[in-house]
Amino acid sequence: MPLKVHEPLNAQIAQRIRARRLALGLTPADVAEALGVSFQQLQKYESGVNRISAGQLYTLANLLDVSIDFFFQNGDVDQLLCSGIDQDLARSNQSAHLIQAYYAIPPAKVSGSVLRFLCSLNDTKKQ
C-alpha cells in the first residue's frame, strides 16, 4: 500500500475550515449552501474524510474571509488561543462562542491582552 503523505495536510485543512467557520458563527448549512454541496459533504470536508478541491478551497477562503495560505500555515489551529486545550473542549459550543467573542474584540492590542490573561489563568503560554 502506498504511503499517503498528504493526509496530515488534508487533516490540517479540514480542521482550519471548521475552526474558522465556528469563529465566524457560520452554520454548516450556510457554508454548504455557499459551496453548492450538501450538509453531509461539508461534514466530510470538515472531518477530513473527503478532500476539498482547489476551486472549493478558493470559494471557502473568500467566504471565510481568509487568504488561501491560511489553510496551509504551520501550527496547530487549537493553539490559536492557548496551548494544551483539550480536544473535546475545543470542539464544544461554549468554546465556539468564546472564539467568536474573542474575534469580535476590535483592536489587536486589546485582544492580545485578553489572550494573555486567559492563558495566564491556566498557566499556559501562547504558542
For cell 473542549, the residue is 89
Mean pLDDT over each residue of the chain, to the nearest integer: 76
Question: What integer is the mean pLDDT of 42-67?
Answer: 90
Phi (first) and psi of residue 119, to 5 degrees: -65, -35
Q: How far apart are CA 77 and CA 83, in angstroms?
A: 10
Q: How far apart are CA 12 and CA 72, in angstroms?
A: 8
Domain with CATH 1.10.260.40 in the chain: 1-74
Whether domain 1-74 has CATH 3.40.50.360: the reply is: no
23, 99 in Cβ contact below 8 A?
Answer: yes
Lowest mean pLDDT among 12-16, 56-60, 78-82: 78-82
pLDDT at 40: 93
Decide if pLDDT at 99 tops 60. yes
Residue 65 banded pLDDT, cuts 50, 70, 90: confident
Q: What's the whole-model pTM score?
A: 0.58
Residues 6+ apart with CB under 8 A from 26: 63, 64
| pLDDT, tens digit, 9 for 90 and up, residues 29-53 | 999 999 999 999 999 999 888 999 9
E strands, 9-113, are: none
Q: How far apart are CA 37 and CA 70, in angstroms?
A: 22
Residue 119 banded pLDDT, cuts 50, 70, 90: confident
Decide if pLDDT at 12 tops 70. yes
Lowest mean pLDDT among 11-15, 36-40, 64-68, 107-111: 107-111
Q: How far apart are CA 54 and CA 124, in angstroms?
A: 36
